[in-house]
Amino acid sequence: MQYDILLGVVTTFGAGMLAQWVAWRFKLPAIVLLFALGLLFGPVMGWLHPSEALGGAFRPMVSMLVALIVFEGGMALDIRQLREAGEGVARLTMLALPINWILGALAAHYIAHLEWGISFLFGAIVVVTGPTVVLPLLRSAKLKPRVAAFLRWEAIVNDPLGAILAAVVMQVLILHVDFQNGLFFTKTLPNILIAGAISIAAGILPAYLMRFLFTRDLMPELLKAPVLLSMALVIFELCTLEIEGAGLIAVTVFGMALTNLHIPGMNELRRIKESLVVLMVSVLFILLTADLHRDVLARLSVPIVLLTLAVMFVVRPLGIFLSTLGGTATTWQERLFVGWIAPRGIVAAAVAGAAGIRLSEAGYASADLVMPAVFAVIAATMLCHGFSLVPLARALKLTLVNESAIAILGSSTWSANLALCLRKAKVPVLLIDNNARDLMKAARDGVPVLKAELLSDHGQESLEERPVDYLIATTGDGIYNGMVCGHLAPHMGRQRVFQISPGVARLDLYRGLSRDARGRVLGEPSWSYSFFDTLFSRGWRFVSRSMTEEDVQNFKQDENRLDILLVRRGTGILIRSAEDSIHITPMAGDIMVSMVQEVEAPVEKKETVSLPSEALSG
């Protein structure tokens, strides 16, 4: 028996990570694959039944994993950023959530004929659009900044709020509140308010304790992440003992407090927790789906199907329309898009699984319909919204150019010329600098620019709103270039961040700059800032050329051309680096970007610059 459990756990972990990789590789919604695997392992093949195998330990394990996921979501809630996000985001979170809740409850009662209490619980569960579902979709969709901000902030804010709302509704139902005899106002409501206040305090006070320990070097780096995760679980369990649902409030507040206290080093810890959340989401979603019994699926009746369609085509669009009515921050295209895109995810699944069992035990007749109704909404929104997001965004003209984009850090005469060359070749490019004066000329030439410090939170958020796939750091400070590349590598991928050479000595893999502290070298080790600057001052310029069959056959590097990168439409960008064993080999239709010596006068009167031999190698 124990070996069967071990085999099930190992299979779940392996299948979850394989699904995540396949989703990343082929740009598919990961949660759709996880959902399909859960159905395959559980109801279809009958290989995995977590609640039967783990017994009484299954529900507490699910609750703890959900608490950690909600805690990580709370850490994404920076109040300063939320305040700066604009009227549209405020309306989508403060107005749309209660409107969608009420509309969802009405639909559940009148269409699926659920009891009023169960209907309000269903409405509370389906208002959640989790960041674990929405954010991966946004990374590959390349939406325009404002509409991406709408979906991102709605998911981040509504995820914990929706879970808290569902927990409060469930607690009210479990206590069998009778509004007519006055118990709600004399007993239940005071208990909920007291538990809420205790939960908020239980989230804030430990955050201040963590800041005290972290900022005074009383906690070693090795223990910071384990201590935070353990503290979140302790807070969750202690508050849950007070009242059901209070634990989710507490861990959400704990995560928010940690973020808004701006404790140094939290970015590194946040990356660790993000990786853990990917693992937990993968495992949890497979387990929850696999635990669906065939009799649950058999309860997918016509009323539940109609309820699902009503949630997708009436409740959500109408809620968004009403919440944005009279506002000036959203266009009709944005309203239509946001009204449609609302995939439900892991929190909705976990809350539905726990709530259905608890309320069935409490004697609610229609409680056993909560799980099939919620999972029907999850499955339908994952499939429809996951696969329709990009086509709909393109049809409404809410996407940026659907080609691989390059960010160039550092605005100099030659880097601005490279950016202009890429723009003329119709390659999406963004020139970044923290000095507005250095960006002015490039901006006048039509090059998209961004004034920001990429090592700041503002700079990183600005870059997320203008998605790029590759970074080339070209400032004159090699150490700074390496810091930016090292900072952005976990988000963009270490193989996609490049910098001009900081000097041959600093590229020594043992005594030089650590590979983890810098980007890949652009071109050859001798291609430093002064190298490019000197060539530019002597008349060298960046040019692009569309490669023909003849060009490909006759392609070779020569001393009067530096091949920098290759653009392969629909595939990506190949950037030359001496640290890469793969040589750039063009194909017909590719765009080659090179630096050449422009000839504006007879050749015999033009100075020829001799390049170092190592610049032509590779």
In DSSP terms, 409 is beta-bridged to 432, 473
pLDDT of residue 140: 66
Q: Where in the chain is the domain with CATH 1.20.1530.20?
A: 2-395
List strand residue ranges (DSSP E) for 215-341, in order.
Answer: none
Q: Which DSSP helix (H) or strand (E) runs through 31?
A: helix 30-39
pLDDT of residue 106: 95
What CATH architecture is 2-395? Up-down Bundle (1.20)
The runs of H, that is alpha helices, within 291-323 are 294-298, 302-310, 316-323
In sequence order, the 6+-apart residues with CB closer than 8 A to the CB of 590 are 546, 547, 566, 567, 568, 569
| 425 phi and psi angles, rounded to 5 deg | -85, 5
Neighbours of 342 (CB within 10 A): 28
Give yes or no for a contact between 105 and 119, defined as CB atoms under 8 angstroms apart. Answer: yes
| 151 phi and psi angles, rounded to 5 deg | -65, -40
Q: Where in the chain is the domain with CATH 3.40.50.720?
A: 406-616
Q: Are strands 449-451 and 470-473 parallel, antiparallel or unpaired?
A: unpaired
- Region of 176 (left: φ > 0; alpha: ψ -120 to 50; beta: rest) is left
**Eight-class DSSP state of 473:** E
pLDDT of residue 262: 82
Across the 618 residues of the chain, what is the mean pLDDT of every consecutive 10-residue run?
A: 72 90 81 85 84 78 81 74 63 84 93 89 85 70 77 75 76 62 65 81 93 90 88 90 76 88 77 80 83 70 91 92 77 88 78 74 79 86 85 85 85 94 91 91 91 86 78 93 90 89 76 81 90 93 90 75 85 85 78 81 43 39
pLDDT of residue 609: 45
**Eight-class DSSP state of 612:** P
Q: How far apart are CA 519 and CA 486, in angstroms?
A: 7
**Eight-class DSSP state of 581:** S
Per-position DSSP letters for 355-421, written without gaps between them: HHHHHHHTT-TTGGGHHHHHHHHHHHHHHHHHHHHHHHHHHTT-B--SS--EEEES--HHHHHHHHH
In sequence order, the 6+-apart residues with CB closer than 8 A to the CB of 612 are 526
Q: Could you give the angle at which helices 116-125 and 370-395 cross, rounded to 10 degrees?
A: 40
Query: Which of 3.60.21.10, 3.40.50.720, 3.40.50.300, 3.90.870.10 would CATH assign to domain 406-616?
Result: 3.40.50.720
pLDDT of residue 327: 65
Q: How far apart are CA 407 and CA 417, in angstroms?
A: 14
Q: How far apart are CA 84 and CA 81, in angstroms?
A: 5
pLDDT of residue 613: 39
pLDDT of residue 607: 44
pLDDT of residue 3: 63
Cα distances (angstroms) measured from residue 384 to each of 70, 308, 376, 399: 25, 12, 12, 19
First to last CA, the chain: 58
Using only C-alpha atoms, the chain has a radius of gyration, in whole angstroms, of 28
